[in-house]
Amino acid sequence: MKKYILFITSLAVISCGSDSSQDPHDHQSEEHEHAIGAADEHEGHEHSEDEHAEKTVAGEITFTPQMAALGTFAVEKTEKSPFFSIIKTSGRSISSPVGESIVVAPSDGIITFIGTMSEGANIGSGVTLMSISSKKIAEGDTYSRITEQYNYAKTQWERAEKLIKDRIISQNEYDAAHLEYLNKKNAFDALSADKSGNISVKTPFAGYIKNIATSQGAFVNKGDALFSIMKSNRARLEVDVPQKYFTELKNVVSATFTSADGKTYDTATLNGKIISYSKSVSSAGMLSMTIEYDGVADMPEGAFVKVSLRLKDNADVLTVPLSAITEEQGEYFVYVQLDEECYQKRPVTLGGNDGIRTVIASGISENDIVVTRGTYRVKLAGNTGAIPHSHEH
């Protein structure tokens, strides 16, 4: 029995040894294959990192047409063009006296506002803003009196036309009757009344109300100012210029000006023209220049603005819109389109600017395609860290 037990035990030992004798080879083979795979994976990982590092250095950014279509976006091909020397200064936007009219009372009476009267309101031509009633004043109803005088003068002149044919009256008498008729007709035509016989006060042209000089229910005399109205299509820029630029004032051809809200306007595109400039220095040591231009609705009268005066002398240089420039820690950049989906951030050196465009002294070349609107969106795309598609230069 003991021999039988020992025999079975030895068989079991031989069987386990047989299994264990096969494991080392298999295990070593697996470890070898795993080591080779790990080395390949490590090498591939290093290769991928090298590719990523290469593209990161290039500064390329993926920004697809689909991404561009989601908001404001525009590009511009750079080219050399004339750029004017400029004088940077300040000024004030004022109304042009050519486009201003003061409306006065056509008769004595009491004022009634028609509708809402407010300064700055846009008004059409021939709109009734006020009426004047003279029915309850000592001098009597002005409109009724003028109407009666006109009708009487008209009747007398028509009678004189018949009498002159038969030589019953002299030529002098006929001329006097005709003159009286014309005078009364002019007085009558100058007035218009509503159904109640109140005299209507109308706007002489389309524009906006600059100033209201009377109030509801006030009594006015004939000739008193009621309100002033401005044509909204012309305005003026009063520019303060340091006296050192006196000899340059004759060379100014146009100007750009920027309001407090950051909007920039160009007199060259607003039918602007130089009206005058002073030849004497103010107590503040400044000269004055006046430029007239088509007014802009969102520029309030009297607004202070930053001004860049353009001079005649110019040179062909590379420029981009100011909207193309981004700034980071005192450094300036533009985004250049490499192809339909790929962009590159380029550092640039700036020259002078006229408030709309700036000279690029270095960093890009002629015929580069530069992002001019939506630069911030391209910048955000670059900050996501997405690796762009392969691009050949």
Q: How confident is the model at residue 8 (pLDDT cuts 50, 70, 90)?
A: very low
- State the span(s) of the chain assigned CATH 2.40.50.100: 101-230
Query: pLDDT band at residue 347, thresholds of 50, 70 and 90?
Result: very high
Report the alpha-carbon distance of residue 210 to residue 119 in Å, rounded.
Answer: 6
The predicted pLDDT at position 16 comes to: 39
| pLDDT of res. 208 | 81
Residue 333 β-bridge partners: 326, 347
* Matching CATH number, 60-96+234-383, of 3.10.150.10, 2.40.160.20, 2.130.10.10, 2.40.30.170: 2.40.30.170
Whole-structure pTM value = 0.49
- Structural tokens at position 69: 């279509």
Calculate the alpha carbon distances from 177 to 2, 154, 163, 169 in Å. 166, 9, 11, 11
| % of the chain residues with pLDDT over 70 | 79
More confident residue, 109 or 190: 109
Domain 101-230, CATH class in plain words: mainly beta
User: Do strands 273-277 and 225-230 pair parallel, antiparallel, or not at all (unpaired)?
Assistant: unpaired
Start and end residues for every CATH 2.40.30.170 domain found in the chain: 60-96+234-383
pLDDT of residue 56: 38
Confidence of residue 123 (pLDDT cuts 50, 70, 90): confident
Q: Which residue has the higher pLDDT, 301 or 143?
A: 301
Identify which has the larger pLDDT, 193 or 305: 305
Tell me what the mean pLDDT of segment 63-80 comes to.
93
Least confident of 202-206, 254-258, 333-337: 202-206
Q: What span, in angstroms and rounded, lies between the C-alpha atoms of 114 and 116?
A: 7
Lowest mean pLDDT among 45-59, 60-74, 354-368: 45-59
Look at residue 298 in the predicted model and tell me its pLDDT.
75
At residue 386 the predicted structure's pLDDT band, cuts being 50, 70 and 90, is: very low
Q: Which residue has the higher pLDDT, 54 or 386?
A: 386
**Chain segment 221-279, per-residue pLDDT in tens:** 888 999 988 876 788 999 999 999 999 999 999 999 998 888 899 999 999 999 999 98
Q: Is the pLDDT of residue 18 over 50?
A: no
Q: What is the number of residues in the chain?
A: 393
